[in-house]
Amino acid sequence: MTTSAAEIKTIDPTPALLRQLPADAAESPAAGNGMKVDPERIFHAARDSAEFFDHLQAHYRDTRRTLVEIECDVTLLLADGALFDTGAGVLLNVSSSGALIGRLKLEKGCLPAQPFKLFLVLKREEYKGVRIEATPVRFADEVFGLGVKFAEISVSA
């Protein structure tokens, strides 16, 4: 079965609400205040606004990240509680819900191929006693590290 050129339907990319506007809507006054409506300008302004980008970022991360560089000791425990490996790393960014741990140097040199959690002990003097339990949420190959979500943060004297 072949389709003739007359049967091919042209798709209009204009949003449905704009197609319903009268043809002279761009020249008509908006709400009687003498301003002209320019739908393209409205859509571009929305796309370029900070709120638009914040909305997109909200779907990528729970909270905003702050760049830091804090060395830490790292312990990897398997889901059953067995010790998998120990080593060191650097917190590269942090938020109230998680962090990026990079430059991991583990004794085995690899990450487990099964569910695990991390225990981090921050080494900088102003963070002495801070211990973080976290679960991995993504691999960060570019810095040999992990994006993690905090499960628990504790401070000991």
pLDDT in tens, 69-113: 999 999 999 999 999 999 999 999 999 899 999 999 999 999 999
Q: Pick the residue with more confidence: 7 or 152?
A: 152
Please tell me the least confidently modeled range out of 13-22, 64-73, 109-118, 140-149.
13-22
Alpha carbon distances (Å) from 49 to 42, 53, 62, 64, 97: 11, 7, 20, 18, 26
Mean pLDDT of 17-31: 51
Instruction: Please determine, for residue 150, whether its predicted confidence score (pLDDT) is greater than 50.
Output: yes
Query: What is the reported pTM?
Result: 0.60
Instruction: Please determine, for residue 139, whether its predicted confidence score (pLDDT) is greater than 70.
Output: yes
**Residue ranges covered by each domain of the chain:** 16-60, 66-155
Give 66-155's CATH code, choosing from 2.40.110.10, 3.20.140.10, 2.40.10.220, 3.10.20.30.
2.40.10.220
Question: Side-chain half-sphere of 136: how many Cα atoms within 13 Å?
Answer: 21
